[in-house]
Amino acid sequence: MNCSVCGAPAQVEVRRRNQAFCAEHYRAWFVNETRRNIKRHRMIRPGDRILVAVSGGKDSLVLWDTLARLGHAATGFHIQLGIGDYSQRALEATRAFAAARGLELIVVDVRQSFGLTIPQLAQATGRAACSGCGLSKRYLMNRVAEEEGFNVVATGHNLDDEAATLLGNVSHWQLDALVRQGPMLEGREGLARRIKPLYTFTEREVAAYAFLAGIAYQHEECPHAEGAKSLLYKDVLGRLETRMPGTKQVFLEQYLKKVQPVLKEGLAEGEVELRRCERCGQVTTGAVCAHCKLWDRAYARAKKRRLLPEDRGFD
Ligand code: Q46
Ligand code: ZN
Ligand code: ZN
């Protein structure tokens, strides 16, 4: 198979698009598609300050690389979750990437900020690590964006992630989540705009870009990812994709185009009123935000089990 642009032997085949590219034209196609995604959804506007969430994995580093190539100066934001060697290696990959390109990076440590690592939080609350982890990551991203003056938070979600989330939301008819899911969620007072510029690329396509662009990313999966429901949804969609290439793309894009607008209209009676959390000052719907509630429960139980470090002084 030959490159659809120059006719040289192809290195990457994009089956869902019936195209193939040599290394150079694949990278160019990838960056150009990202630019189109950004433009189509008005993800980035003049004067924006962008914070890019960077885990050290391929998706987030590819996103950071692509934004830089498109001339969007984005500051990286990495959260130290405290998941043993896995977290340590994730930080190393992120730091090395930023240092090699002279990019600005903010690192926040969950244990230093709140007193417990993510595994300790899970142990204290008795809930799966991923539920507390996801909540804390979303909370910190928004809080740091507000404190540091960023109005946009970019994440590296790809087509596989988004299609799996959609399948999960549809399976349980999670209407609130279905209405909010999308490549761009407008910001509001105290809430940064959320954008996902890579949402049209499959995981394989992102990995191919990382390889051809020479990006050294962390390959190992988080030890808590095993058994996550999202992997099951990805597996189901992967099987459909093998038999019918393009299924994931059609599933997500047609949902966003044909179904979500109808859903939004049906649920349009008044936006949920937002206010500031009495405890931490972050935007929430209730008096105290879900993050503060979760950590309160964790502190109470962690104190009993002596998981809290001496210097925290919680009472
Ligand atoms: S980092 Fe955190 Fe993920 Fe690990 S504990 Fe779960 S949510 S799997 S993306
Ligand atoms: Zn070519
Ligand atoms: Zn709060």
Confidence of residue 22 (pLDDT cuts 50, 70, 90): very high
Residues whose beta carbons lie less than 5 angstroms from ion ligand 2? 3, 5-6, 8, 22, 25
Query: Which of 222, 229, 294 best tests ligand 1's pocket when mutated (most atoms within 8 Å of CB)?
Result: 222
- CA neighbours within 13 Å on the CB side: how many for 285? 4
Q: Give the position, in ligand 1's atom list, of the atom nearest the Cα of 222.
A: 4
- CA neighbours within 13 Å on the CB side: how many for 97? 31
Residue 306 has pLDDT above 90, yes or no: no
Q: How distant is the alpha carbon of residue 137 from its chain centre? A: 9
Query: Dihedral (C-alpha) 298, 302, 307, 309: value to the nearest 10 degrees?
Result: 70
The pLDDT assigned to 309 comes to 61
Distance, in Å, from the CA atom of 277 to the CA atom of 120, rounded to the nearest integer, reads: 24
The pLDDT assigned to 308 comes to 65
State mean pLDDT over 194-214: 97
Of the options 3.30.420.270, 2.40.10.120, 3.30.310.50, 3.40.50.620, the CATH number for the domain spanning 23-220+229-271: 3.40.50.620
Residue 273 has pLDDT above 90, yes or no: no
> From ligand 1's centre to the CA of 185, what distance in Å?
22
- Which ligand lies nearest to the CA atom of residue 7 in the structure? 2
**Lining residues, ligand 1, CB within 6 Å:** 81, 118, 129-130, 133-134, 222, 224-225
The pLDDT assigned to 314 comes to 45
> Is 292 among the annotated ligand-binding positions?
yes
> From ligand 3's centre to the CA of 274, what distance in Å?
13
Confidence of residue 234 (pLDDT cuts 50, 70, 90): very high
Distance, in Å, from the CA atom of 129 to the CA atom of 254, rounded to the nearest integer, reads: 33
Residue 310 has pLDDT above 70, yes or no: no
**Per-residue pLDDT tens over the stretch 90-115:** 999 999 999 999 999 999 999 999 98
